[in-house]
Structure 1
Amino acid sequence: MSRARNEALRPPPKLTLSQWANEFAYLSRETSAHTGKFKSFKYQDGMMDAVTDPTVQKITVMKSARVGYTKLLDHMVGFFIHQDPSPMLVVQPKEDDARDYSTTEIAPMLRDTPVLAAIAGDLSSKAAQQKVEKRLFRNGASVAFVGANSPAGFRRITARIIAFDEVDGYPAQGAGNEGDQIALGTKRSETFWNRKIILGSTPTVQGISRIEKSWEESDQRHYFVGCPHCKARQTLKWENFKWDRDEEGKHLPDTAYFRCEAGGCRIEEKDKRALINGGDWVATKPHTGHAGFHIWAAYSLFPNAAWRFLAAEWLRVYKDPMQKKTFVNLVLGLPHKEVVNVADPDVLKSRCEPYNYETLPSDVRLVTYGADTQDDRIEVTFVGHGAHGEMWVARHEVLHGDTSKPVVWDELDKLIAEPLETDEGRRLIPQAGCIDSAGHRSEMVYKFCRDRKRRRIYATIGRGNPDPKAPRMIWPKTASRTKNSGDKPYIIGVDTAKDDLSSRLAIVPHEFEPTPRAVHFPAAGLSADYFDQLTSEHAVTKQVGDKITRSWVKKAVGARNEAWDCLVLALAARMSLPVKLDKAPPRKPRPVSKADNDNRSLPAIKEQPETKTEERPKRRERQRWGAYR
């Protein structure tokens, strides 16, 4: 046996994780901008040393991006391979993430860290027992990599050290039918008295975030620093983050600084390194074996986390609700608060008002609808629209029947032709509708819309918008230029629509005055579970590598969301119409005869879809309808 191998297999001296990382760890060219020996930031030491603290069994890190957490996870794996050979399990959000982490993070570390390379040997050799999903080492250490979406991934695994990475990105429904991923993984360590459970993630939605829940159960450690001027100990808080303006009021992000909360001193970027080096972690709750850390980008000494860059980022996104949420998650390392209480449908139910689809308020100017198709039913929501985006849910109907047969579609055809009435007697025929064509009875949806394309009935497919920097729209700008053959669906931005509706639902409508963008609900006519369906989803933001994604997903497996989808489709139908209602003059209530109502139409749209088009000259028909296609 070679001397190098003897040295590698000799029991190493007892070290803390931060000591080990600063003495033995190397940065690889594939994973770091600067290669060579690793040198930790002071705030990283406290998080690493909790792993080797015998009084700590569980660790929670609620973090932003750009704080170097991934490297800390790498060093934890390296430490237990070299210092304390143990079976380990690393859980990533998806199986692809797990394989990627093993390949792009762990493999280069084993190759470039000398003490680990001596233990691992030639990674390409069959004798090395190296696999992407599980790596075995000659000294008894092992590390398995599992995706949180894999039902079978947690079986036949026993581990002393378990690290859950980006837990807010785990599938909400659990690992298939196996249950919650954190509970499954933790159970794999029950036979070890000295086990370690590590959870790390950027948070997502307040009240739903897994990392937030775990953080609240911890001793909640914050990194305290001393003011370089008055020496007062404090944490860096977003509310104390400032920058100057010029004489014209223009923001100057390059002047970003922190205002000392004790004496009002100005803490500049040039003080940052000394500030961090002189800081320490302080627990704000009693310690019971669960250490919790919150760290955000202002503490980071990476060049791309300079305070001037953080200020510039905020000024770029603060007017955009979706990008603002992303900033809160990925820069501040905090869960964002949804604009509506997504956990309690009673919040919306309590706002129901005394109207129905036959007594809509006089402010309603036009009606659209959205329909969701299932194998055994069609669900339809009719929505009234008024000035400045105000909306009134008019009715939600469920048409039961086999949607592969024409009977239920005939019922839908009759339903969407029925007029709704205002309390002053005006009759409103639905002006446009969207029917979801994805997943269930697509061909039947296409046929239904193809036969009625002059009535603004659109087959649609929803597409998410995972990239917060991508353009966002609910109704595609190219819709009016696309040949509507009936079997070419309109692609609507469902995530954007849900973001928009979420902000609307947060607005409490005024009972007697117009409330722009508010959504009203009728006191009668909605099913018992309507509001449960309306609050069945939440938005999740996560970071996988350098990519930031955000999407709306169900909060619980099997939850029904048809009411939510129908409202989204009704909003998309409204966006398809070029009619502007903001300047529409208010209508005065007056008695109207039934004969007048039969011939009445909206002032903004001069024709009703049910008008017999064959009685008009074809050229004139194309000109009139073309304006609204």
Structure 2
Amino acid sequence: MTVMEALALTSYEETCSGGLQRLRDRLRRGRAEALSRPPILTLSEWADEFAYLSPETSADAGKFVAFAYQNGMMDAVTDPSVRQISVMKSARVGYTKILDHIVGYFIHQDPSPVLVVQPRVEDAEDYSRTEVAPMLRDTPVLAEIAGDLKAKDSNQRILKRVFRNGSSVSFVGANSPGGFRRITARIIAFDEVDGYPAQGAGDEGDQIALGTKRSESFWNRKIILGSTPTIDGVSRIQKAWEESDQRRYFVPCPRCGHKQTLRWENLKWDKAEDGQHLPKTAHFRCEAKGCRIEEHDKPRMIDNGEWVAAKPSTGHAGFHIWAAYSLFPNAAWQYLAEEWLRVYRDPSQRKTFTNLVLGEPHQEAFEITDPEALRARCEPYNDETLPDDVRLITYGADTQNDRIEITFVAWGMDDEAWVAVHHVEIGDTSKIDVWDRFDAVISSRFKTESGRVLVAQAGCIDSAGHRSEMVYKFCRDRKRRRVYPIIGRGNANPKQPRQIWSKTPTRTKNSGDKPYTVGVDTAKDDLSSRLAILPQEDRPNPRAIHFPAEGLSGDYFEQLTAEHAVIKYVNKLPHRKWEPKTVGRRNEAWDCLVYALAARLSLPVKLRSQPATPKVPERATDEPEAPETEADRAEPVQITPPPRPVRQRPRWNMYR
């Protein structure tokens, strides 16, 4: 209260009649009120007293009630001995609400500049609109500070909100090169760091380093990292968590009281007499005495749990939490068991389960390094005795100056694959006659055991490096036959792998031709996991790859295992890429298999949930019949032809 305010509250008579002492008392009380601050609460106390859930972001709108494990994570933010917090988590554990409360706390209790970094600018805008704005509207203590969010106020923008008490919140996308400039913040919250572009924020460098640098002027700064992990050895949140004190949530067994963490390998369920899984019976087994822990025991266990660090504290608190601890209805143990039973046979879906349910990084791929192990798996078939399960054929070709190598692959249900033959066409690839012979090879017909005749439905030819113009001309004249020129590209961002097959081509700089891009690193990861599947006889083998006893060159399997995946650091960022094991080692067979997979993905045909064609029974009579022609026996898969290319009108050149 100022002197002028005090005088305004004091009548003229009171001042003139010697009420100066009363005026001094009022000034003293006003100064004390101005200097006093609301009581400083921990973040969990603040959330318990003030936080509300908005109907746009929660199924149970209203007063926020924390899960017990959330309190320990929130209180680390307001612990003066902790300078950094790293949370490696799964989905469905309520981490987004913790992030919301961090923003709300430092607006209301401890006014400070806050910076929230999302993977993309679009994510930052969406978080500001859908999470922060409803929280400012529906949390009474924040609504008083924020005022009318709909008013045309220059301080209330989507990517930066400034409040009347001096606090502010900025939102930045990790893919924005200039997003970190001109920002100073005490609280830096990095959300979903494993989704950040691996090459950094343009030319600016690593996003976490850039954001952390924005807080160097604050002695009491806080750095918060949270994310679902991705690839083992590449995951940023995994690295941060390993550098922390590594806290896990220990819960007591409701039967014997032994404190333990919930581990996936201890989640069990019963089986029926016929061997059918019963996920509704999902329960945990106590690791001490084998006690059966049921779903209805979970709330009491969580309420009585505690965070326990595995390493001494150095000011970096790390938390690992996964879906089994969550009290959300959709995280019941029954549903986790059902999810596992749906995906455990599919390596790609199993990766997603590991990341989003277990909250752990996954091992990217099994690498087959022994060529003899693959050679020993050869089966007694060839290009004229393919299994009747085969539905279509594609090929991949690699061009060299003196030869063209081609691998034909037959495909069945659920992407089961049979390598049909690997052919090498010798000759100078700058000569037309070599390409004429190659055209005859890719027009070859293949037979199944029952006599069906198949022809290749699509093929990819590498156009980078050797005879590019010859490849473009060859493919240009055969578009209707789905002969595609391709260019292989690695993963610029391992957190967001490049698609194996791009649906739209890209124009080259020096040519009007449009080659298609193939994500070779992604394809090699996929094929590596397929090669790790050991095919079983007399049963479907989804995604498995078979090899014939005939039709492969002597060094075919050496070429197939010529590369391995390595982790390299570029600008201190980890990149996983495939490289030759030794310089100069041949790998054409490996590349051809990659291109044949890309050709398969170019076809709009899904070979799933269809019964295999039974073998044609032997004829019951010896009566002579009219001989069948190859055209009569051919049963190619019906595929909608690609649309004819649209001729674009040339642009008018005003300088001509």
Q: What are the Cα deviations for residues 190-211 of structure 1, in whole angstroms up to 9, with x where unaligned?
A: 2222111111111111121111
Superposed, 1:393-472 pairs within 5 Å as 434-435=459-460, 448-449=474-475, 451-452=477-478, 457-458=483-484
AA in 2 matched with 1:435: C
Query: Which residue identity does 1:370 align to in structure 2?
Result: G
Match status 1:69 vs 2:95: yes
Match of 2:545 among 503, 517, 532: 517
Looking at structure 1, the residues matched to 593 and 566 of structure 2 have their Cα atoms a distance apart, in angstroms, of 12
Aligned to 2:407: 383
SS state of the match for residue 225, structure 2? Answer: strand
Letter in 2 for 1:54: P
Distance 2:365 2:97 in 1: 35
Q: CA deviation at 1:522?
A: 7.8
Opposite residue 434 of structure 1, the aligned amino acid is: G
Equivalence for 1:165? 191
Partner SS state of residue 563, structure 2? helix
Instruction: Report the CA distance between 1:301 and its aligned residue.
Output: 0.8
Among 182, 189, 194, which residue is 2:215 paired with? 189
Out of 90, 94, 113, the position equivalent to 2:116 is 90
- Structure-2 change in CA distance of 1:354 and 1:30 (3 Å): closer
Task: Indicate conservation of the 8 Å contact 1:63/1:295, yes or no.
Answer: yes
CA drift at 1:262: 0.5
The equivalences for 1:283-432 within 5 A come to 283-340=309-366, 348=369, 351=371, 365=383, 369-370=395-396, 382-383=406-407, 389=417
AA aligned opposite 2:460: I
Question: d(CA) in 2 for partners of 1:506 and 1:176?
Answer: 37
Please say if residues 556 and 589 of structure 2, whose CA atoms lie closer than 8 Å, have aligned partners that are also in contact: no
Q: Give the superposition deviation at 1:277.
A: 0.3
Cα deviation digits, residues 258-282 of structure 1 (max 9, x gap): 1111111111111111100000000
The answer on whether the counterparts of 2:175 and 2:201 sit within 8 Å (CA) in structure 1 is: yes
Give yes or no for contact 2:383–2:420 (8 Å, CA) kept in 1: no
- List aligned pairs for 1:213-252, cutoff 5 A: 213-252=239-278
Contact 1:160 1:189 survives alignment (8 Å): yes
| Aligned counterparts of 1:521 and 1:143: Cα–Cα separation in 2 | 64
Q: Name the structure 1 match of 2:135.
A: 109
Could you tell me whether the CA contact under 8 Å between 1:64 and 1:295 is conserved in 2?
Answer: yes
Which residue of structure 2 aligns with residue 135 of structure 1?
161
Change (3 A) 1:558 1:184: farther
Relative distance call for 1:414 and 1:212 in structure 2 (3 A) is farther
Cα distance in 1 for partners of 2:125, 2:402 equals 42
Q: CA deviation at 1:564?
A: 7.8
Which residue pairs with 1:146 in the alignment?
172
Please give the alpha-carbon distance, in whole angstroms, between the structure 2 residues aligned to 1:438 and 1:300. Answer: 51
Task: Report SS of the residue matched to 1:501.
Answer: helix
Task: In structure 2, give the amino acid aligned to 1:383.
Answer: T
> Could you tell me which residue of structure 2 aligns to residue 99 of structure 1?
125
- Offset at residue 380 of structure 1 (A): 7.2
1:72, distance to aligned residue in structure 2 (A): 0.1
Q: Is the 8 A contact 1:434 1:573 kept in 2?
A: yes
- How far 1:118 sits from its partner (Å)? 1.2
Please give the alpha-carbon distance, in whole angstroms, between the structure 1 residues aligned to 2:436 and 2:239.
48
Q: Which amino acid aligns with 2:98?
A: L
Give, as a single letter, the amino acid of the residue that structure 1 aligns with 2:545: R
CA RMSD of superposed structures (Å): 5.4
2:563 and 2:578 in contact (8 A); partners too: no
Q: How far off its partner does 1:558 sit?
A: 13
Q: What per-residue deviation string (whole Å, max 9, x for no partner) do you get for residues 371-414 of structure 1?
A: 589xx9999763366998465996999x999xxxxx69987666
Hey, what's the Cα distance between the residues in 2 that align with 1:400 and 1:196? 65
Decide whether aligned partners of structure 1 residues 507 and 443 sit closer, same or farther in structure 2, where only a CA change above 3 A counts.
same
Q: Structure 2: how far apart are the matches of 1:8 and 1:19?
A: 24
1:328, distance to aligned residue in structure 2 (A)? 1.3
The percent of aligned pairs where both chains have the same amino acid is 62
Q: How far 1:339 sits from its partner (Å)?
A: 2.5
Match of 1:531 in 2: 563
- Map 1:501-516 → 2, pairs under 5 A: 501-506=527-532
> Amino acid of the residue matched to residue 563 of structure 2?
F
> What whole-Å deviation, never above 9, does each CA across 1:467-522 have from its counterpart, x for those lacking one?
xxxxx99999xxxxxxxxxx99999999996664131344699xxxxx97278998
Superposed, 1:168-179 pairs within 5 Å as 168-179=194-205
Note the alpha carbon deviations across 1:88-128, whole angstroms, 9 max, x for none.
Answer: 11111111000000010001111111111111111122446
SS of the aligned residue for 1:336 comes to coil
**Cα distance, 1:337 vs structure 2:** 1.3
One-letter code of the match for 1:182? I
Distance 1:574 1:27, change over 3 A: closer
Counterpart CA distance in 1 for 2:332 and 2:578 is 44
Cα distance in 1, alignment partners of residues 207 and 472 from structure 2: 40
Distance 1:456 1:104, change over 3 A: closer
Query: SS state of the match for residue 91, structure 1?
Result: strand
Normalising by structure 2, we get a TM-score of 0.66
AA at the equivalent of 2:459: C
Change (3 A) 1:13 1:456: closer
Which residue number in structure 1 is paired with residue 104 of structure 2?
A: 78
- Alpha-carbon spacing, 1:450–1:280, altered in 2? closer, same or farther (3 Å): same
Distance 1:313 1:431, change over 3 A: closer
Q: Deviations over 1:523-582 (max 9, x none)?
A: 69999x9737x7799xxxxxxxxxxxxxxxx9479999999875432235579899x9x9
- Does the 8 Å contact 1:474/1:496 carry over to 2? no
**Structure 1, unpaired ranges of 5+:** 342-346, 402-406, 420-429, 463-471, 477-486, 510-514, 538-553, 584-605, 608-620
Secondary structure, aligned partner of 1:105: helix
Helix, strand or coil at the partner of 1:298: helix
CA contact (8 A) 1:74 1:106 kept: yes
**Whole-Å separation in 2 of the counterparts to 1:400 and 1:92:** 53
In 1, Cα distance between equivalents of 2:192 and 2:588: 30
Q: Give the whole-Å Cα distance in 1 for the aligned partners of 2:635 and 2:293.
A: 62
CA distance 1:573–1:135, change in 2 (3 Å)? closer
Q: What displacement does 1:226 show?
A: 0.6
The counterpart of 2:84, out of the listed 39, 42, 58, is 58
Q: Per-residue deviation at 1:451?
A: 2.8
**Residue 17, structure 1, aligned to residue 43, structure 2:** yes
What is the DSSP-based 3-state SS (H/G/I as helix, E as strand, rest coil) of the residue aligned with 1:62? Answer: strand
